[in-house]
Structure 1
Amino acid sequence: MTVTTTDDPPVAGASGPGGARLLDRVLRTRELAVLAVLLVMIAVARAGNSAFLSEQGVKDLLLNATVLVLVATGQTLVVLTRNVDLSVGSTLGISAFAAGAWLDGGGNAVVAVALAVSLGVGAGLLNGLLVGIGQVPALVVTLGTLYVVRGVDSIWVGSRQITAADLPDGFLDFGSGGVLALPWQAVVALVVLVATAYYLRNYGSGRELYALGSNPEAARLAGIPVRRRVLAAYTVCGALAGLAGALYLARFGNVDSGTGTGYELTVVSAVVVGGVAFTGGSGSVYGAALGALLLTSVNSVLPALGVSSVWVLAINGVLLLLAIAVDRVVALRVAAALRRKRAPRRTAVAKEKTGA
């Protein structure tokens, strides 16, 4: 069955093209607000530390955000379907170690990256099968796979550690190299980000993720293959977590059994702060990327201003709470606006029925 869509993707809490356009404008404003906060924060850091926006400073800022942007892009696909993947941190960790172990044994770098992505795909498929096909709640499934993957990683890795001395120089050069202030890793993340955004906006299967998150039952009645779409979203999310693991290894050159622990919370925070509704159906990967850049920038801005890094978690928590509060306010205002728009129509219909 063919699903016809409008120019704007369907969004949660808005029925009809008028509601979709209204909420789409609100969400774009939200993304601009995140961008404004990011620019103000960078400007303040620049004023307090003149070296903050040096070529190396900008390069470090982008490198620090690359891994989070990749994982947040994949997480956005899952959240759009009204689900979540809490296993991305564990997937990143085991993929990074797998790539490092292969390189330590004299393996090819391209094969190492492919191995990391393949492990991510496997984890994503497992989550997608259980959530999409098995209809098990996403929170339960991905919390379980978080511990399963982390346990396998701990048993496999043990007390071993991959260090930069174990890795080829070319692989490490890719992790820190680039053109002027633009790192190669940032180019990879940008290509993935733009490709994902293009897919969501211009392909029917991508736009169906919005419809699915907005109203799963209506999507099912419209003939959208709900289970296949959820499976695909989790698979891509896992693949990007695996790719992020390989880039993490190239960036830091150090991996052990604790790599990626707790990272899933940072990813979810980036996605929500970037304006992707946790109830599904609205948001964009560009917003998630801005959220990731904002959260990673906090880690760089505070030291530049001489503020203790212990404030980082507190500030991230405040940003997350503010994002949730804004989501709630937006949902209420959009619902009220839709009721006002429908009122004259209902009155006209009532008058026709009564013959007035």
Structure 2
Amino acid sequence: MTVPARTDRARAWQSVGARVLTSREAAVAIVLVLLILVATVQRPGFLFGDDGIRDLLLTPAILVLLAVAQAVVLITRNIDLSVASTLGLSAWLAGTIASSLPGVPLPLVALAAVGMGALLGTVNAVLIALVGAPALVVTLGTLYAFRGINVMWADGKTISASDMPADFRSFGVGSIFGLPTLSVIALAIVVVVAWYMGYRQSGRELYAIGSDPSAAVLLGLPSRRLVFLAFVASGAIAGLAGFLYAARYGAVDSQAGSGLELSSVAAAVLGGVAIFGGSGTVWGAAIGAVLLITINRTLPLLGVPQFWQQAVVGALIIGAIILDRLLSLQRARKLSAIRENNND
């Protein structure tokens, strides 16, 4: 009786190990570790310098949040190109409140930034989920609209670090149990969203919507409501990223976060979130964000020219999209074979 029990446990562990080793998240994590090792061998200070590990954890924190926001929307077979503009407006609001009202508690400043992000996400949600306009077109438009509002609001001014209260600046560079505060917050958001997407029924239904929107409607899933909430959540997370951006860098202007919209898409895709929707994880998107930032930090250390740095990132994104498509076709063939066997 003991031997079969041990055999069953061994098989269970082997099955778990096989799933881990074949997952996209594990593959991206392995590439990340290898990249860090290569950079450390070339430049030991990259990891073992005074702030090596701290920078490795802190620098990707904001992009991790944007990648998570993007992943939630991509999984529903949509896209949010306005996340960076949402970050910018939220960062300007947080900086304005902190500099104008230095006595306001930081949680209230953060709440205001999250509220701003949720409001902007609601604009996208109404146009996409209720009106039915294409997400690519809507969020491309709001990318410029939100940024234009930011430019008008800032009116050419910059909120500098000297304008910020001391507690706001110290928060951006502070630590919790020896870990950067911003990294801990980003990790907490990843854990919460990953739990929701993986274990709540409505979270699983987001995958169903992305896999086959027509089938989701036939099954009676509340597709419009869930897509609506996905865009609101994306905006709220981007708003939090805006608050952290203002705290991290101290100085905020109308171009805060500019260009990060494409980086958020790239990070999510690199982490295994399918651009066609229906698959991928928040964990993968977060790891993809860390990998993307690490690539941008390590390639200059290895003497790679800037042009080739961009080419490497572009090649990785194209490779990830091709891999997603191949895996999708493989799954479709397997399902077709199973149906044929059942019919026989």
Measured against aligned partners, the alpha-carbon deviations of 1:247-297 in whole angstroms (never above 9, x if no partner) come to: 011111121111122211000001111101111111100000011010011
In structure 2, the partner of 1:343 is: 340
In structure 2, the partner of 1:16 is: none
Query: 1:216: Cα distance to partner?
Result: 1.1
- 2:217 aligned with 1:220: yes
In structure 2, relative to structure 1, the CA distance for the partners of 1:200 and 1:143 (3 Å cut) is: same
In structure 1, the partner of 2:238 is: 241
Measured against aligned partners, the alpha-carbon deviations of 1:206-264 in whole angstroms (never above 9, x if no partner) come to: 11101111111211122211111011000010000000011011111121111122211
Are the equivalent residues in 1 in contact too, given 2:98–2:168 (CA < 8 A)?
A: no
Q: Secondary structure at the match of 2:45?
A: coil
Measured against aligned partners, the alpha-carbon deviations of 1:12-55 in whole angstroms (never above 9, x if no partner) come to: xxxxxxxxx9xx95996211111111111000001001111126
Are the equivalent residues in 1 in contact too, given 2:176–2:184 (CA < 8 A)?
A: no
- 2:278 aligned with 1:281: yes
Are the equivalent residues in 1 in contact too, given 2:76–2:206 (CA < 8 A)?
A: yes
In structure 2, the partner of 1:104 is: 99
In structure 2, relative to structure 1, the CA distance for the partners of 1:171 and 1:161 (3 Å cut) is: same
Residue among 256, 269, 284 paired with 2:266: 269
- 2:69 aligned with 1:74: yes
- 2:194 aligned with 1:197: yes
In structure 2, relative to structure 1, the CA distance for the partners of 1:37 and 1:238 (3 Å cut) is: same
Q: Secondary structure at the match of 1:53?
A: helix
Alignment partners' CA distance in 1, 2:242 and 2:92: 8
Q: Secondary structure at the match of 2:101?
A: coil
- 2:42 aligned with 1:48: yes
In structure 2, relative to structure 1, the CA distance for the partners of 1:36 and 1:253 (3 Å cut) is: same
State the superposition RMSD in angstroms. 1.9
Residue among 75, 78, 83 paired with 1:83: 78
Alignment partners' CA distance in 2, 1:162 and 1:319: 36
Residue among 292, 295, 312 paired with 2:292: 295
**Equivalent residues, number:** 325
Are the equivalent residues in 2 in contact too, given 1:196–1:285 (CA < 8 A)?
A: yes
User: 1:287-326, aligned counterparts within 5 Å?
Assistant: 287-326=284-323
Residue among 28, 41, 48 paired with 1:34: 28
Alignment partners' CA distance in 2, 1:313 and 1:69: 19
Are the equivalent residues in 1 in contact too, given 2:269–2:317 (CA < 8 A)?
A: yes
In structure 2, the partner of 1:9 is: none
- 2:335 aligned with 1:331: no
- 2:254 aligned with 1:257: yes
Alignment partners' CA distance in 2, 1:303 and 1:60: 16
Q: Secondary structure at the match of 2:60?
A: helix
Superposition misfits of 4+ residues, deviation over 6 angstroms: none
Are the equivalent residues in 1 in contact too, given 2:113–2:240 (CA < 8 A)?
A: yes
User: 1:167-182, aligned counterparts within 5 Å?
Assistant: 167-179=164-176, 182=179
Query: 1:106: Cα distance to partner?
Result: 2.5
Alignment partners' CA distance in 2, 1:332 and 1:172: 50
Q: Secondary structure at the match of 1:52?
A: helix
In structure 2, relative to structure 1, the CA distance for the partners of 1:184 and 1:30 (3 Å cut) is: same
Alignment partners' CA distance in 2, 1:336 and 1:224: 26
Q: Secondary structure at the match of 1:281?
A: coil
Unaligned runs of 5+ in 2: 1-14
Normalized against structure 2, the TM-score is what?
0.90
Measured against aligned partners, the alpha-carbon deviations of 1:316-356 in whole angstroms (never above 9, x if no partner) come to: 2111111111112211222222233333223x2xxxxxxxx
Alignment partners' CA distance in 1, 2:138 and 2:89: 18
Residue among 105, 111, 114 paired with 2:111: 114
Which amino acid is the alignment partner of residue 78 of structure 2?
N
Unaligned runs of 5+ in 1: 1-20, 349-356
Query: 1:203: Cα distance to partner?
Result: 1.1
Alignment partners' CA distance in 2, 1:182 and 1:315: 30
- 2:136 aligned with 1:139: yes
Which amino acid is the alignment partner of residue 46 of structure 1?
T
Alignment partners' CA distance in 2, 1:50 and 1:315: 23
Query: 1:103: Cα distance to partner?
Result: 1.1
- 2:64 aligned with 1:57: no
Alignment partners' CA distance in 2, 1:229 and 1:88: 19
Normalized against structure 1, the TM-score is what?
0.87
Q: Secondary structure at the match of 2:157?
A: coil
In structure 2, relative to structure 1, the CA distance for the partners of 1:165 and 1:312 (3 Å cut) is: farther
In structure 2, the partner of 1:207 is: 204
